[in-house]
A and B are shown apart, each in its own frame.
Chain A
Amino acid sequence: MILLYLITPALIMFFISFSHHIYLRRILPITNLMVLIPTLYLFSLGKPYAIIGEYLVATNLNSYILLISSIVAIGVTLALITLNKHVKIDNRSYIKFYRFFALFWIGLILSIMSNNMGIYWIGLEMATLSTVYMIKTNKSKQASKEAWNYMIVGAIAISLILFGIILIYASAKPILGEEAMNFALLKEHIHEIKNPFLFELGFVIVSVGMFIKMGFFPMNLWLANIERASFYPVGALFSGILESAILIGFFQFSMIAMQIDKEATFSFVFIYLFLTISLVSFLIFRSKDFMRLFSLSGVEHMVLIILFWVSGGYFPALLHFGAHAFLKPALFLSTGVLESQGRYKIAGALKGYHGFEGKTFWFIVGFFILAIVSLPPSPMFFSEIYGFSAMITLAKETDSLLWMILAITILLLILSIIFYKFIEIYQSMKYEGEEVEKIVYKSELLAFLLFAVATIGLIMPQTITYLKAIHG
């Protein structure tokens, strides 16, 4: 029954998308608010709570991720109301965007709540396919090319994930039968597996598939190009919800893999992440437009989330995850307003906002940009402090303390390049360029306020206590 309540807002959106009365979209943020009722209700239940048998199970981890995704979805529907004021979109494409957004959301609810690898994959595939059409709502030649690109590369990534799942299933089926797809059961019986090699191979293939989907090495520009070509809410949905679903999958698989061989899992993931962040920092330094900048910065933050997670820093990983999931969609949505005077005009982008709404907008965007570069008291500042200390703690256990200190130093150097670039951009936005009057709409402002409040909510003592209680 809870599942029905969870997907009801998405179903309402889906059915409304068949109506030609485009103004109906205005009620969607209100109907979407309904998703908070079952989501918050999940927090009051004892965990693990079976939503549908052993297939969909609410845990502390996925309830938190679902809450974050729900808030992002509400924010995106708020900002979507004025999409046609910022970009050229016909009514037909507009209502279809909502239709595929609804399918995307249903797929991701299934993925996030799943306790079964098969259902996880089905939900992820459903969301991936729905996104293809959302990219295509932009009628430009570039968007068309990128939609096909996403279809093909996304298909490769998702196929690799399925390939890995089959190998993991094959490794555990002799002892667990059809229940080998069950994450919780697999975690419990992992040491009974006769062929851990097969599991590890499956894990590596699943991880590579997930890393491709998240735009990691060597596919760093893949996601950035797609987000650049599509309308700005697509980037928000990618970074706020789709990537959350991929990350929760990685959390589940890596928790099991670390039980088999923690050191090997860490080494493999660390090398991959290190290559990614080195390349991404260079690309961020060279980026000349908002969309690519935010997209590449999203990759950087996902690298950090995964790095903290595999280091055993579950609390910093989840805190960083929450902050990334709120700040990045907020920044993507703000590009709709920031780019109203031309796509690549960074100089003066934060000038020309008058009145209460305008001034609130530049204040909030300034807050988002400074929070994303981890300036205190941003949740990202705390997560990075805790995350790096988790890496040191791990190194002490494995007698490689000096190597870890060296790695952290290099990472900090890389992060400082990104920090410098963002500050430079912020200064250019605020103090350079001409002042041209720009409009911010109330619904957008409401969405930004929602993201700002949610980000602040992450550093509330109750949230921190909750996150510290989650152990993967």
Chain B
Amino acid sequence: MIDFFIGLFMASFLIVLFSGRLYRLIFWYAFNSLALGVITILVGVEHIDNALVISGGLTLILKAGVIPFVLKNISQRFNLIREINPTVPIHYSIILIPAIIIFTLYLAEPMSSMIGVNSNYIAISISSFFLALILMIEHKSVAPKIIAFLMMENALFLLGTTATKGMPMFVELGIFFDVMMAIVIINLLFKEEHVK
């Protein structure tokens, strides 16, 4: 079951890299967060770890629900440009992205063998981290870069969940708090630009 959701998590990363519309990007971010939330809950249930189940639940509510809603709201309120074509042409991306995935899987192999548990998941979360970086680089406008930042945070959350079977609860709550603060700041920045 976890494998299935990890697959969905990775697939949503691949789709966003080829997306040219902002709402679609927000939708796939929500989907990515949904997969992450379910993975966290499943890992928590497997290891009988209530903290992981709670943070999985929080991921579902905040990252798959509240944040995409706020982002969509921001984009409507401030009339953000919805057509966001990647600067890297798609035919290059088709070659580049698998190359990055293979490279990161290779890179992560010694690490995965050391951690032992869920080794493939660690490799996938590291690949996702690099893919989020690519997403950040390949767009010129700010909105996709924000989504890339949030997806990068998702990749790290997955790494924390799979490599360490979850970080201490207060750290995870702190990370949630920081993500929410980032959203507030982003909203403020757009508001300032809109007022100007």
Q: Which residues of A contact B (CB under 8 A)?
A: 55, 116, 118-119, 121-122, 125-126, 129-130, 132-133, 136, 139, 144, 147-148, 151-152, 155-156, 159, 162-163, 166-167, 169-171, 173, 178, 181, 195, 197-198, 201
Contact = CB atoms under 8 A, between A and B. Distances in A.
A162 B192 CA distance: 30
A170 B171 contact: no
Given A133-B188, A155-B152, A201-B111, A118 B159 contact: no
Interface residues of B, number: 36
A163 B129 contact: yes
Contacts of A171: 114
Contacts of A167: 111, 163
A123 to B, nearest CB: 9
Given A198-B114, A201-B111, A162 B181 contact: no
Contacts of B188: 133, 136
B4 interface: no
Contacts of A116: 171
Interface of B: 110-111, 114-115, 129, 133, 136, 142, 145-146, 149, 152-153, 156, 159-160, 163-165, 167-168, 170-171, 174-175, 177-178, 181-182, 185-186, 188-189, 192-193, 196
Contacts, number: 99
B145 A152 contact: yes
Given A121-B174, A198-B111, 7 more contacts: A118-B171, A122-B178, A136-B192, A144-B189, A144-B192, A166-B160, A198-B114
16 contacts: A118-B174, A121-B171, A126-B178, A126-B181, A129-B178, A129-B182, A132-B189, A133-B188, A139-B196, A152-B136, A155-B149, A156-B136, A159-B156, A166-B167, A173-B164, A195-B115
B70 to A, nearest CB: 15
B153 A181 contact: no
Residue in B115, B129, B160, B167 whose Cβ sees the most chain A Cβ within 10 Å = B167
A16 B146 CA distance: 31
Contact of A119 (B142, B145, B163, B171): B171
A80 to B, nearest CB: 20
Nearest to B129: A163
Given A155-B149, A198-B114, A136 B163 contact: no
A148 B185 CA distance: 11
A133 B145 contact: no
Nearest to B114: A195
Contacts of B185: 129-130, 132-133, 151
B58 to A, nearest CB: 15
B189 A152 contact: no
A169 B189 CA distance: 34
Nearest to A202: B111
B153 A159 contact: yes
A152 B168 contact: no
Contacts of A173: 164-165
Contacts of B133: 156
Contacts of B177: 122, 126
Residue in A129, A132, A171 whose Cβ sees the most chain B Cβ within 10 Å = A129
A178 B186 CA distance: 33
8 closest residue pairs by CB, A with B: A118-B171, A122-B174, A170-B163, A125-B178, A195-B114, A155-B149, A170-B164, A178-B168
A163 B196 CA distance: 37
A198 B174 contact: no
Nearest to B173: A122
A181 B168 contact: yes
A108 to B, nearest CB: 14
Nearest to B184: A129
Contacts of A139: 192, 196
B62 to A, nearest CB: 16
A368 to B, nearest CB: 33
B115 A170 contact: yes
Residue in A133, A162, A195 whose Cβ sees the most chain B Cβ within 10 Å = A162
Contacts of B181: 126, 129
A187 B129 CA distance: 28
Contacts of B192: 136, 139, 144
B191 to A, nearest CB: 10
B189 A133 contact: yes
Contacts of A155: 149, 152, 182
Given A126-B178, A147-B189, A118 B164 contact: no
B178 A163 contact: no
Nearest to A173: B164
A40 B73 CA distance: 47
Contact of A197 (B114, B156, B160): B114
Nearest to B186: A151
Contacts of B189: 132-133, 136, 144, 147-148, 151
A197 B115 CA distance: 11
Residue in A136, A178, A181 whose Cβ sees the most chain B Cβ within 10 Å = A178
